[in-house]
Chain A
Amino acid sequence: GAVVSQHPSWVICKSGTSVKIECRSLDFQATTMFWYRQFPKQSLMLMATSNEGSKATYEQGVEKDKFLINHASLTLSTLTVTSAHPEDSSFYICSAAGSGQREGLNSYEQYFGPGTRLTVT
C-alpha cells in the first residue's frame, strides 16, 4: 500500500521548452503533496508544498513562475518546468501525505514517488 507513481520516469527536452511531470497517489487520498529536487549525491531539497484545491506554497528561492504546481485532485499533482534551461536538469521527486485506506497511514508519513530525471539540452 501507499504507492505513489510519477510520470515520466525520465525526460530529455530542449532548452526553452516546458515539461510537465505528474505525481499520483494510487491507493490513498493525498491531502498534501510535496515536490523535491535532488542533485547527484545530495539530499532532497523541498521546492513546494501543495494542498488539494489551493495554491502551492513555495520554499524560499524557488521561482513560482518557473515551477508551476497544480494539485487538482486528491490523487494528482503536476509540476511544470517552464522555459527549461540546462541548470534545471535534476532529479525531481514528489511525495504524498494524507489519510487514506491503508491502516497506519497518517499525515506525518510522506510516501515518495520513484522520481523523474530531467535533462535539458
Chain B
Amino acid sequence: QKEVEQDPGPLSVPEGAIVSLNCTYSNSAFQYFMWYRQYSRKGPELLMYTYSSGNKEDGRFTAQVDKSSKYISLFIRDSQPSDSATYLCAMSYQGAQKLVFGQGTRLTINP
C-alpha cells in the first residue's frame, strides 16, 4: 500500500463548477499537508499549506485536513480554464523536510 493515495483522474468539469480533489494516507505521523499545482512540463507550484487538522482558505481555494480519517481535500470554487493542471498532494512528518507525494490528479476545466 502506498503511503499516499490520490486518484490520477483525469477529471473534467465545466467552467464555474466546484472541484473537489482528495488524498488519503496511511501514516498518522504526517503533520504537514501541501497541495501543489503543476502545469504541463513545469515544476510544481505550492498552492496551499496546512499544519495538522483544520481548514485553510485562500481566494477560490480551500484546503481541508481530517486527521481522524487520514483524508485531505482541496476545493476549487468558480473553476476557470486556467485551473486546468495536475494537482499533487504532498505530506511530511514532524521534524522532517522530505515530502511524500500523491500520484497527482489531472484536472481539465472546460469553457
Physical interaction between A and B: yes
Q: Is B1 an interface residue (CB 8 A)?
A: no
Q: Contacts A32-B97, A108-B32, A108-B92 known; A115 to B41 CB distance under 8 Å?
A: yes
B42's contact among A46, A109, A115, by CB below 8 Å, is which?
A115
Q: Which B residues, 47 to 73, have Cβ-Cβ distances below 8 Å to chain A?
A: 49
Distance in angstroms between the alpha carbons of A113 and B88 in the assembled complex: 15
Residue A102, interface by CB 8 Å: no
User: What band does the interface of chain B fall in when counting residues whose beta carbon is under 8 Å from A?
Assistant: 20 to 34
Instruction: From known contacts A49-B98, A97-B97, A109-B49, infer whether A115 and B43 are also in contact, taking CB-CB under 8 Å.
Output: yes
B residues with CB within 8 A of A: 6, 8, 32, 34, 36, 41-46, 49, 88, 92, 97-99, 101-104, 106
Report the Cα distance A41→B6, complex, angstroms.
13
Say whether A110 faces chain B, with CB atoms less than 8 Å apart. Answer: yes
The chain A residue sitting closest to B104, CB to CB, is A43
A21 to B86 CA separation, bound complex (whole angstroms): 24
Interface residues in A, total, Cβ within 8 A: 24
Decide yes or no: A43 and B101 within 8 Å by CB, A108-B92, A109-B49, A112-B36 being known contacts.
Answer: yes
- Is the pair A91, B44 in contact by a Cβ cutoff of 8 Å? no
CA distance A114 to B43 in the complex (A): 4
